């Protein structure tokens, strides 16, 4: 099966339009995004497990539970989180007004917000924006939509791929935002995926759950899980393939491409991490299970001591093994090998003499690979993270200002 990378993001798939505008939540940058499927679409979602769930998450979970949706309305600059009953009313009003201007059902609207926690939405601006944005929907509007969901992001995050199903071209495209508060458990992160494949609601949800666990749930920037995390996928069937109702070959190829889209978006989030100077890729080899490998990889990437060592370009492998030992994973320390790039620094749990100059050269790179072999099984898990810099503290010390 050949996959082709194409442009277009969330409007690459047939039957989707999008737009992004400035409505007045932020001072000047785009802050309202809309995606629309021209026909009814199957929907699936994954959400934050933070106990403080934002109002739009609560409303969207209820709407998507039906297995269908047509539109996604998302604002940036205000999270509408920890806003009580008023927050719920405002999220529902966003859905109601979006449905009204698009002439669709309220339950077919996904609502999402991102930004500062604990402040009420300026609903006059939001309502005016929703009325204005509908007229700007187009097949070329994907990039504007991606820009409009950014907060501290420095770059927009978009990707799309095509594959062949029954001789028909199927497209999977997506956009995401996230830079800080990134440690999903399903960072502040949002991802919206569109596809023209025809698939049952049950299998779409299964595909999303599987790929989220192996993409967004394998990244970390700062160890904080947001109140607003959300991943939504809409599948409108416009490609014309026969509906996929069983886990056949077509389903597995679709999962492969959905995985590519979600993995790329996840990595873009990490690369744009607040204050990040390094992109860290940790692979745990020969784990007993996926869960063990994930726990160890995220334990390494979540350690502030590990993160600061890589910021300082210090080959302090002791911090890596120490962070592993703090997890609940059972393994034998005397079996562990650690590599920085292609340089082995630890063998069977003990340090090796290595070329410090060569290690320094590896750590001076923007992208750094860390490999840990625990020799407990045959599962391999790769996760991604960032270093912790002075600039991260500067950004987050004045986030509200």
* Packing angle, helices 84-102 and 55-64, rounded to 10: 50
Domain co-membership, 305 together with 184:
no
Domain co-membership, 51 together with 190:
yes
Q: Which helix (H) or strand (E) holds 377?
A: none
pLDDT at 220: 84
Instruction: State which of 245, 271, 297 marks the end of a domain.
Output: 271
Mean pLDDT of 154-171: 95
Of 44, 47, 69, 68, the closest CA to residue 56 belongs to 47
> pLDDT per residue over 206-249, tens digit each?
999 999 999 999 988 766 667 888 999 999 999 999 999 999 99
Domain co-membership, 20 together with 140:
yes
Torsion angle in degrees (nearest 10) through CA of 291, 296, 300, 302: 40
Average pLDDT of the chain is 94
pLDDT at 248: 96
Instruction: State which of 223, 250, 271 marks the end of a domain.
Output: 271
Cα 86 versus chain centre, distance: 28
> Tell me, what CATH number does 334's domain have?
3.10.20.340
Domain co-membership, 258 together with 293:
no
Domain co-membership, 108 together with 59:
yes
> pLDDT per residue over 244-277, tens digit each?
999 999 999 999 999 999 999 999 999 988 788 9
Domain co-membership, 158 together with 109:
yes
Quote the number of domains for the chain. Answer: 2
Q: What is the DSSP letter of 158?
A: E
Domain co-membership, 267 together with 388:
no
Domain co-membership, 305 together with 370:
yes
> Tell me, what CATH number does 8's domain have?
3.60.70.12
Asked about 211 being catalytic, the answer comes back as no
Only one residue has tokens 């990437």, namely 301
State how far the alpha carbon of 114 is from the alpha carbons of 50, 78, 305, 398, in Å: 15, 5, 29, 17
Only one residue has tokens 């393939």, namely 241
Domain co-membership, 238 together with 134:
yes
Domain co-membership, 212 together with 123:
yes
Q: Give residue 319's domain range.
A: 279-397
Q: Do residues 46 and 98 lie in contact, with contact meaning Cβ atoms separated by under 8 Å? A: no
State how far the alpha carbon of 341 is from the alpha carbons of 7, 361, 376, 379, 380, in Å: 32, 10, 22, 20, 17
Domain co-membership, 109 together with 234:
yes
Quote the strand ranges of 251-362, DSSP E: 279-287, 337-340, 343-347, 350-351
Instruction: State which of 224, 242, 271 marks the end of a domain.
Output: 271
Domain co-membership, 74 together with 177:
yes
Q: Is the pLDDT of residue 185 over 70?
A: no
Q: What is the 3-state secondary structure (H, E, C) of 294-305?
A: HHHHHHHHCCHH
> pLDDT per residue over 186-212, tens digit each?
445 899 999 999 999 999 999 999 999
Exactly one of 188, 220, 227, 346 is catalytic; name it. Answer: 188
Q: What is the DSSP letter of 3?
A: -
Q: Quote the tokens at residue 192.
A: 């919206």
């Amino acid at each position: 099966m050949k996959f082709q990378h194409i442009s277009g993001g969330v409007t690459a798939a047939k039957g989707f339009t999008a737009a992004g505008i400035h409505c007045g939540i932020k001072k000047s940058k785009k802050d309202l995004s809309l995606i629309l499927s021209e026909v009814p679409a199957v929907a699936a979602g994954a959400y934050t497990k933070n106990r403080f769930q934002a109002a739009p998450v609560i409303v969207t979970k209820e709407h998507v539970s039906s297995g269908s949706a047509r539109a996604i309305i998302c604002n940036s600059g205000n999270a509408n989180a920890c806003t009580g009953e008023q927050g719920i009313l405002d999220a529902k009003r966003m859905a109601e007004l979006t449905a009204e201007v698009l002439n669709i059902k309220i339950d077919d609207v996904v609502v999402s917000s991102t930004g500062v926690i604990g402040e009420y939405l300026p609903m006059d601006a939001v309502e005016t924006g929703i009325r204005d944005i509908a007229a700007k929907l187009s097949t070329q509007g994907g990039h504007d939509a991606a820009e409009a969901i950014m907060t501290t992001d420095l770059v927009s995050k978009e990707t799309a791929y095509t594959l062949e199903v029954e001789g028909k071209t199927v497209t999977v495209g997506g956009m995401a935002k996230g830079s800080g508060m990134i440690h999903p458990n399903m960072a502040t992160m949002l991802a919206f995926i569109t596809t023209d494949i025809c698939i049952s609601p049950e299998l779409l949800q299964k595909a999303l759950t599987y790929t989220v666990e192996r993409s967004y749930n394998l990244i970390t920037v700062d160890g904080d899980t947001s109140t607003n995390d959300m991943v939504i996928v809409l599948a409108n069937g416009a490609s014309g393939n026969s509906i996929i109702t069983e886990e056949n070959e077509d389903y597995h190829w679709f999962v492969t491409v959905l995985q590519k889209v979600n993995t790329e978006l996840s990595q873009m989030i990490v690369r744009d991490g607040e204050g990040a100077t390094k992109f860290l890729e940790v692979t745990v080899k020969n784990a007993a299970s996926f869960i063990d490998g994930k726990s160890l990889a995220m334990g390494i990437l979540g350690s502030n001591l590990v993160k600061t060592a890589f910021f300082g370009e210090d080959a302090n492998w002791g911090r890596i093994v120490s962070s592993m030992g703090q997890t609940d994973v059972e393994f034998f320390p005397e079996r562990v090998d650690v590599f920085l790039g292609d340089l082995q620094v630890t063998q069977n749990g003990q340090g090796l003499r290595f070329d410090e100059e060569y290690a320094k050269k590896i750590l001076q790179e923007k992208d750094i690979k860390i490999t840990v072999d625990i020799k407990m099984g045959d599962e391999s898990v790769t996760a991604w993270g960032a270093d912790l810099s002075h600039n991260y503290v500067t950004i987050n010390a004045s986030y509200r200002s």
